[in-house]
Structure formats: C-alpha cells, structure tokens
Amino acid sequence: MPVITTIADLKRMHKRRTPKMFYDYAESGSWTEQTFRENTSDFDQIRLRQRIAVDMTNRTTASQMIGQDVSMPVALAPVGLTGMQCADGEIKAARAAEKFGVPFTLSTMSICSIEDVAARTNKPFWFQVYTLKDDDFMQRLFDRARDAGCSAIVITLDLQIMGQRHKDLKNGLSAPPKFTLASMADLATKWSWGLEMMGTPRRFFGNIVGHAKGVADPSSLASWTAEAFDQTLDWNRVAELMKMWGGPVILKGILDAEDAKKAAELGADAIIVSNHGGRQLDGALSSIRALPAILDAVGDKVEVHLDSGIRSGQDVLKALAMGAKGTYIGRAFVNGLGAMGEKGVKTALEVIHKELDTTMALCGRRDVKELDRDILLIPENFEGRWQ
C-alpha cells in the first residue's frame, strides 16, 4: 500500500485503476484548457504570511455553510457520472462525506439515484439540478429531493449548453458510452474496476432513466440530454425554479459581479463562484481571481462560496482568507474515489483537513472562521485590470 500524502498521490492511483474514458472525463477542461489550468496555477500565485510565537493550541476548522454545521467548510461538489469512476461511487462518496461531517452534493447526472443515496446514508445531502425545460420533470426532481430529505438545492447556471472537451469526443464518452477497440483494450487492463462494476446494478443515470418522459432505457438518454437543457434560461426562470423548490437554494456558476448581484437580489442562500472546474467557458477567469470583485459587490448580501481548482487544504485556506465562507472540491474527491472508493474519499478529506489545519497554525491563526486577507500575500494586479 503506497503512502498517500497528497491529492496528487490519489490522482496517480485513480489513473491506474479507472478506464481512460472516465479518468479523462474527470481530468479535462474545455477547448485549450486554459481556464482549467489557471484554476490551479492562480492559487499558486498567492503566498502565505508566516507568523511566529502565537499560541496555536485549541484550533478549530468547524464552521457553517448556509447555516448547517460542517467540520470544515469544504463540501463535495456535484460531479456527474461519479458512479462510473467506481461502482456505486455516489453512495461511497456521500458516506465518506457524512462520516467526515461535510456536505455531499448529488448531481442530477449521477449514476446512483437520489433515493439510492438517501437509503444508504443517514444525514441530509444537497441535490444539484440543471435548468431543464420540462417543468413536470423539474417538479418531480424537487419532490423526490424533498422526499429524500435533501436539505438544499444547488441550481447550476453555467451549463445551458455543454462546453466541448476534446478528450470525451475522442474517447467516445457519451451516454451511454460508445466503446471503441482502444477503449475495450484499455478496459481489459482495469479488471478490478470491471469486477466491481459487474457487481452493481447501478450503471446508468439513476435520476433520469425511468423518470424523464421518453427515457425508459439508457439508449434514449443521448437524445434526451441534447433536448432537455433550457437555452432560454433567464433570471425569471431562476426565480421560478427557486419558488418551485421552496427551500434553501445555492446558485452555482457565478463568475461575474453583475450576475452575483442578480443572484443576491433573488434571495439565494449562497452563491458558488465557479467556472465548472474549467469545463465550460474556456478563457474565463479562474474562480480565485474572480472572487474579490464578487465579494466587493455582494459579500455582505449573500454567502459566497467558491469552487474550481482546489487541490489542497492550502487552497481552501486561501479562498477562505480571501473572504469565501465555504468551498467545494470536485476532482480532488473524485481522485480519491477512483483510487480507493469510500476510503479514498475519506483520505482526500483527511489530506485537505490536515493541510488546512497545519497551514492555519503556521499562519498564526486558530479558527477557520476568523481567517482574513491579512494572512495572504496577494501579488499586485492579481485581480487584474481587465478592460
């Protein structure tokens, strides 16, 4: 068993264990992948202010996100097809999150259904919805989430159309997957993944197949996804969806101060500053670079969260110290899941927690809720003067 000390260790194991088609699906961004790369490299530009001779006992990473207690303000982001990285992936990730005391967000495009995850966990999780045209289907999704005890809805606003990820096209990733000779040959070398996958009935989109009109089996799913997303989406529709759900709402995919103001006006419980992990608009700013202007615009009106590019507890600390109240990890937990299932997600959370806690101590701070920009060394012009 290798000694795992970083998310990068888990990523290497994920790559070895999981079919290329699904590993590439996770580890890619759209088009040139500029935004995908800058999500991480921009975190690296921020340095930390080392402080000494400050009592570092009794530290705490406990906090709250939308009023819910968390052992650290790091939620698991909604990730589609998680159950393809590892059999029953969403259930395993949700369990790891629950044991660690952080929120798990189930994607609409998950393999395990809302009911599957609810039946195999004990605490409420969050459910992410895409904005779809079909009102009946949206209402049923909300009803199912309510019946499953979900404590918040995350509405993703940055995917009315899909950004193109070249690798997915080349690998034949689709719903359902198209297998090529190369992908079949690769699959043959990932036998432990295959054995586990054969042992579960959960291999299709559990929230959709059998629930959406005209999608009785996986083969009709491809045409459904192309048709279902609502390109007419506007803020009135967002308000309508928030009303249909009627409970706590987090709006995801905000990267611009003007959009943040609209989201705050609608009364969202939180917004997520996010570029979908660099998978949508290539050339968009990294989330960490976009964060300060958004905080200046709405920081006192709505809780601001951030995702995209977090690979360590130091990245979490930087986002919190910059002013975010919560963060999310996508690929960092998927790497753990692909490497070692539930245990891998637990390991990913432990790695991030340890990095966050130790960094906080060495910056002379004891409470994650009291981190501020004073501990950061941010390069001049970090936010940039973009015309």
- The residues that are catalytic are 276
Q: Which of 121, 72, 124 is nearest to 101 (CA)?
A: 72
d(CA 132, CA 227): 9
Which contiguous run of DSSP H or E holds residue 128? strand 126-130
Which residue's CB is nearer to ligand FMN, number 104 or number 365? 104
By CB under 6 A, residue 291 contacts ligand FMN: no
Spatial distance between the Cα atoms of 262 and 248, rounded to a whole number of angstroms: 17
**What DSSP line would sit under 334-366, residue for residue?**
HHHHHHHHHHHHHHHHHHHHHHHHHHHHHTT--
Task: Give the CA angle between residues 208, 211, 216 to the nearest 5°.
Answer: 85
Q: How far apart are the first and last CA of the chain?
A: 51
140 labelled binding-site residue = no
Q: Annotated binding residue at 107? A: yes
Min CB(332)–ligand FMN separation in Å: 6
CB of 90 to ligand FMN, least distance (A): 11
Q: Do 379 and 50 contact (CB within 8 A), yes or no?
A: no
* CB-nearest residue to ligand FMN: 330
248 binds ligand FMN (CB under 6 A): no
Interacting residue with ligand FMN among 113, 171, 308, 347 (CB under 6 A):
308
* x-or-dash string of contact with ligand FMN, 313-352, rule CB under 6 A: ----------------xxxx--------------------
Q: Does 156 bind ligand FMN (CB under 6 A)?
A: yes
Of the candidates 33, 90, 307, 355, which one interacts with ligand FMN according to CB under 6 A?
307
The phi and psi torsions of 327 (rounded to 5 degrees) equal -135, 165
Q: Which of residues 254-283 bind ligand FMN (CB under 6 A)?
A: 274, 276-277, 279
171 binds ligand FMN (CB under 6 A): no
> How many residues sit in the footprint of ligand FMN (CB under 6 A)?
24
Among 4, 79, 114, 264, binds ligand FMN (CB under 6 A): 79
